[in-house]
Amino acid sequence: MNIIFVCKRYYTGKDVIRHRFGRLYEIPTQLARLGHDILVLCLDYRNKNHQEGFTEQFGSGSVKWIIVPIRNILNFEFTANYRTIKSMQATLIIGSSDIPCLWLSRHLSNCLGAYYIVDLYDNYESFGQARIPWFKRSLRASIKAANAIIVVSSTLKTKIMRDYSPTGSVLVMNNGIDAGSFSIGDRLEARISLRLPLQGRLIGTAGNLSRMKGLDTVYDAWHELQETTENTYLVLAGKTDPKLPLPTGERVIYLGEILENEIVQLFRALDVGIVPGHDSAFGRYCFPQKLFEMIACGLPVVAAKVGAIEDALHMNPAILFAPGDHKILAKTINLQLEYPQLPNIKPMQWNELIRDIESIIKNLI
């Protein structure tokens, strides 16, 4: 099957192409491994990289990447790309990553007479671009017109069914993990590799260290923990928020923005991983990727009782804390440090998830 996949190049602080990262890389790649030919229109909003497109071969399938600077679209310099798109003779268009990509996918579907699927890896209403006039209307029209909608969580499916009244089927496909990377390892070796304290008790998290992600609650809990504990350290990694300064002190360790293999080592090094979140338009519907990566590394966790996080950990209420309640978070961390419990959850790998979705796509076509 010939498939066109439309997405943005940069998301969650990563370059989909250079880092071969996440859902936007795995969906086309895993479909190609199943024998399909994929053309990826990768929109570059930064207009920084002049890298030409390239093709990756996976057995009988392939992924051809076309990098499209957004200025080319704004300046109507899209003719050459459209010729390539038309020659693909695609049966299916999949739009993902944000509102403009969904809009473009819908219009390509109309022009090419192809089936059209929307992939929602988040609640796109919570993105800043949704405040631009007409963008929410475009999002609604794109979802309404889709032959099928893939969503990242059950809570997001409920919202889409309730608020959008889609005509197509709504399917849940969580994010997967790379089991070759995120797996149980030696804690001491991990601490040595990251130059972390060998004897202390380490708590922490990695990712976007912002208020939107609930890090304000983590920092408030730490202010309480550092007064009541002596040998506990807070370890943080990821992009910081200028409006939310990191806590300070001898027992706060900031590793900076680290690579995926170092995140794996961090999750192996910690005693307790923290998965924060707020009861917000973002927190209720996002997928807790770090939760599943931590669990895959054998790390006990504490997590906010909200959305997909609560759904995943409903059998482990003792490790959940009310969003925004730093006092309960501090108590829950202490409980996990003293009596650690690991949820009985088996994170799925990308190839398993995409194989399930492929069968649905075939039935649609």
Report the first-to-last Cα separation within the chain, whole angstroms: 10
Q: What is the pLDDT of residue 317?
A: 94
Q: Which string of DSSP letters, residue by residue, matches 222-259? A: HHHHHHH-SSEEEEEES-BBTTBPPP-STTEEE--S--
* Conformation bin of residue 327: beta by default, left when phi > 0, alpha when psi is -120 to 50: alpha
pLDDT tens profile 145-203:
999 999 999 999 999 999 999 999 999 999 998 878 899 999 999 999 999 999 999 99
Q: What is the pLDDT of residue 360?
A: 81
% of the chain residues with pLDDT over 90: 76
Name residue, tokens 């050459």. 80
Q: Nearest Cα to 102, choosing from 62, 150, 55, 48?
A: 150
**CB-based contacts of 339, cutoff 8 Å, min separation 6:** none
Mean pLDDT of the chain: 92
Q: What is the pLDDT of residue 74?
A: 64
All structural domains of the chain, each given as residue ranges with its CATH number in brackets, are: 2-176+349-364 (3.40.50.2000), 187-338 (3.40.50.2000)
Q: Is the pLDDT of residue 72 over 90?
A: no
pLDDT bracket for residue 272 (50, 70, 90) = very high
What integer is the mean pLDDT of 29-42? 95
Q: Is the pLDDT of residue 274 over 90?
A: yes
Q: What is d(CA 47, CA 129) in angstroms, rounded to the nearest whole number?
A: 18
Q: What is the pLDDT of residue 47?
A: 74
What integer is the mean pLDDT of 81-94? 90
Q: Is the pLDDT of residue 143 over 80?
A: yes
Query: In 3-state terms, what secondary structure has residue 73?
Result: helix
Q: What is the pLDDT of residue 362?
A: 85
pLDDT tens profile 196-237:
999 999 999 999 999 999 999 999 999 999 999 889 999 999
Q: What is d(CA 93, CA 184) in angstroms, rounded to the nearest whole number?
A: 38
